[in-house]
Structure 1
Amino acid sequence: MSERVVRPVGRGFLFLDSHPAGCAAVVRRMAAEVEPRTPERRTALVVGSSSGYGLAATIAGLARYGVDGIGVSFEKAATARRTATAGWYRTAETAALATELGRSWTFVNADAYADTTKDDVLDLIAGKLGKIDHLIYSVAAPRRVDPRNGETYQSALKAIGAPHTTKSLAFDDGVPVLQEVGIDVATDDEIAQTVKVMGGEDWARWITALQDRDLLEPGFSTVALTYIGSELTGPLYRQGSIGAAKADLEQTALNLAKDGVTAMTSVNGAAVTQASSAIPGIGLYVSLLHKVTALQTPVEQSIALWDQLTGETPLDLDDEGRIRLDRWELTDDVQSAVRAQWESATQDNIAEVADAAWFLAEVRRLYGFDVPGVDYTAETEVDVEWPTTA
């Protein structure tokens, strides 16, 4: 047993510790957003199940349709100095939720890029699920080791073609600060490495491995989660090095869509995630977006995704065959309002034109802090075991 008071200590949007009870409460709040449907026998593999949209997709599939499955993520256990990562605690609570709902879920803590991980997961699928109906791919990592040659690739947050300067949101002791951030131009090698990390190569390798083991049910579908976003963030995101990786992800979907496989990308709307909060300009954009419209939560969007994957509702596809869960964000009136706020934002008015306090609270909730109903003055057990099969 290792109980202690856990406080939010960190720098910028990165916290050194996570609050176990707060992370558990976040999972329960997400599950409470889901209205159950009559369960039917469906099985899924979620690669990247411990955070962001991968976590939301796991909870929505489990709580709405009673999906059985396997989740893969890469988290760190508690040490003598630090708590476990937030994703560790969220996974433990998701497993507890699965047990309460009478569903079968196994959570694997390992590098999703590694062939050894794929082998272990495929063995689990064969032994516990038989075959799978769906694979949801939601991996956001700064680097990737290619298991075929041992080479390490590093992703880059850079512009393509010309340098870019963007407004960005930071905080000084909780006070919002508007900054100008310069974005360098990515080299050809940096673009290629970013595609290697965040593009579709690993997603395709998962599908090939499953096909080689004959572990796909008839009618199998796979979705990789992605983002397009606004013209305001486009020079760094969609037109930048990350955008090159996202374009590769979309091309991979087209390449995979054969031999009975339905493969698509799902374009999610803006949200506060551990991956997105690190990108310059995104925090400001999401804060402005929240000020002018009601954001659809990751769980709400994941419910819509599962409804489409199960045939409850028709697929909402664009001309390029991508599922669009972001239409609420990109309407002309919403984007016009956000642009007006973006252009008018100054250090003097940033607290008024942007919902900065909400954004900071959302970042803190990623680590289990600022969750209503949690007593942060009380000691909490930080040494939580990785869940056994639920």
Structure 2
Amino acid sequence: MSERVLTPRNRGFLFLDSHPAGCERLVTDMWRACPDTADGPEGAGPVALIIGSSSGYGLAATVAGLKRAGIRGVMVSFEKAATERRTATAGWYRTAATADLARGAGRDLVFLNGDAFSDGMKDEVADLVERRFGKLDHLIYSVAAPRRTDPETGATYASVLKPIGRANRTKTLVFDGEGVPEVREVETGPAEGDDVEQTVAVMGGADWERWIDRLDGRGLLGEGFTTAALSYIGSPLTAAIYRQGTIGAAKAHLEATARGLNERLDKTVGGRAVTSVNGAAVTQSSTAIPGIALYTGLLRGVLGEDLVPPVRQLAALWDQLTGTAPLALDDEGRVRLDTWELTDEVQAAVAERWAAATTDTIAGLADLDWFQAEVRRLYGFSVPGVDYSAAVTTDVPWPVS
């Protein structure tokens, strides 16, 4: 096994290596931050399938599901092992840490590594559920990917981050090699050709529905089965590039898919399908979107510790999915976990700071220390309690269950 002293090396918000001890501690900290149920989960626990379980809100769903609902079942992600030149991906190390938590909690979780878009992975999961768990109670879909290959046609689609109709000019936040912040204006050209259709094919509801088709066709959906696809709406400040852009078109397709699945599941198994609209967070996906880094830093500047972390949001979702709390839906049939972010008061305060944000003023308007640390923590760095001067083993095995 390889042991190395790891220091962060990055190109913008993308880091070349990940720190296994930092990733492990991060998952442990998420576990501790997740509120307990009154008596703790009892019995065998519901059977869950979480697709996209190793990062962002999917990881939060996994950790919160373990602690809050006592889930067992199958977790799917797509990560890379360590090589001679590179560490494993952060999600690889987070998965190993999550598996340790599950074993410590006495929960039967199986972690699969592979392409969730493929029919091969769907069949592998279906076989495993049938053999080991019987039927599914819940499915959470949390996949953010740049491309998808359609298993039926073999066509590969690529998603893009573009506005629809006309170019969009927005402020964005970048850091130089020394970590010095700069507020820039960037212009993103409008979607062209089949950009919208390609993005919808990747990020819309087609693959989610294909998972349900596969599992339902095998008779693996239990009575009262519920499924939720994790989504985001966000602020009017970022709407042109997000909710009104190509990604927004994909999210609209996801919501339309939820309505169709909800009607179908209600008839077949007395079940439900919803989208869950989450609040802002620093994730590997969100940092790639123009303006989102600036917005999130300003939001933290306004809210401070009142910014709700993903694991607490997903604890609330599990309460609703399992019936511990009522399923609270908006007029579009969506679970809203973002209400703390989108109040008029909070958005007015963020908009005021956004208008005033320049390279000279940003340090007094946004919580930059928090934001930069959150980005580093995505890769296991800047996690409190970790000795980064110590050598660590990078060749961590994938959990075997």
**Are the aligned partners of 2:41 and 2:67 in contact in 1 as well (CA < 8 Å)?**
no
Alignment of 1:225-374 (within 5 A): 225-257=230-262, 258=264, 259-260=268-269, 261-293=271-303, 294-374=306-386
Residue 191 of structure 2 aligns to a residue in which SS? Answer: coil
Count of equivalent residues: 389
Q: Does 1:98 align with 2:108?
A: no
Q: Does 1:79 align with 2:83?
A: yes
TM-superposed CA distance for 1:356, in Å, is 1.6
Q: Could you tell me which amino acid in structure 2 is paired with residue 103 of structure 1?
A: R
TM-superposed CA distance for 1:128, in Å, is 1.4
Gaps of 5+ in 2: none
Q: For residue 185 of structure 2, what is the aligned residue in structure 1?
A: 180
Q: For residue 42 of structure 2, what is the aligned residue in structure 1?
A: 39
Deviations 1:96-130 (A, max 9, x none): 10000000000000000000010111111111111
CA distance in 2, matches of 1:248, 1:65: 29
Residue 53 of structure 2 aligns to a residue in which SS? Answer: coil
Q: Could you tell me which amino acid in structure 2 is paired with residue 321 of structure 1?
A: G
CA distance in 2, matches of 1:47, 1:304: 19
Selected match of 2:387 from 348, 358, 375: 375
Q: For residue 200 of structure 2, what is the aligned residue in structure 1?
A: 195
Residue 360 of structure 2 aligns to a residue in which SS? Answer: coil
Q: For residue 64 of structure 1, what is the aligned residue in structure 2?
A: 68
Gaps of 5+ in 1: none
Deviations 1:219-240 (A, max 9, x none): 0000000000000000000000
CA distance in 2, matches of 1:94, 1:318: 32
CA distance in 2, matches of 1:38, 1:152: 42
**Are the aligned partners of 1:86 and 1:367 in contact in 2 as well (CA < 8 Å)?**
yes
CA distance in 1, matches of 2:189, 2:42: 50
Q: CA-atom RMSD, angstroms?
A: 0.8
TM-superposed CA distance for 1:39, in Å, is 2.4
Alignment of 1:143-158 (within 5 A): 143-158=147-162
**Are the aligned partners of 1:39 and 1:67 in contact in 2 as well (CA < 8 Å)?**
no
Change (3 A) 1:319 1:188: farther
Q: For residue 10 of structure 1, what is the aligned residue in structure 2?
A: 10
Identical counterparts, % of pairs: 61
Deviations 1:333-377 (A, max 9, x none): 000000000001111111111112211110000000000000111
CA distance in 2, matches of 1:66, 1:22: 25
Selected match of 1:167 from 158, 171, 179: 171
Deviations 1:37-93 (A, max 9, x none): 332430100000000000000000111221101100000000000000000000000
CA distance in 2, matches of 1:250, 1:383: 40
TM-superposed CA distance for 1:315, in Å, is 1.4
CA distance in 1, matches of 2:339, 2:69: 24
Q: For residue 126 of structure 2, what is the aligned residue in structure 1?
A: 122
After TM superposition, the score normalised by the length of structure 2 is 0.96
Q: Could you tell me which amino acid in structure 1 is paired with residue 107 of structure 2?
A: R
**Are the aligned partners of 1:168 and 1:284 in contact in 2 as well (CA < 8 Å)?**
yes
Q: Does 1:22 align with 2:34?
A: no
Change (3 A) 1:318 1:188: farther
After TM superposition, the score normalised by the length of structure 1 is 0.99
**Are the aligned partners of 2:174 and 2:182 in contact in 1 as well (CA < 8 Å)?**
yes
TM-superposed CA distance for 1:188, in Å, is 4.0
TM-superposed CA distance for 1:23, in Å, is 0.3
**Are the aligned partners of 1:20 and 1:368 in contact in 2 as well (CA < 8 Å)?**
yes
Q: Does 1:107 align with 2:119?
A: no
Q: Could you tell me which amino acid in structure 2 is paired with residue 143 of structure 1?
A: R
**Are the aligned partners of 2:182 and 2:358 in contact in 1 as well (CA < 8 Å)?**
no
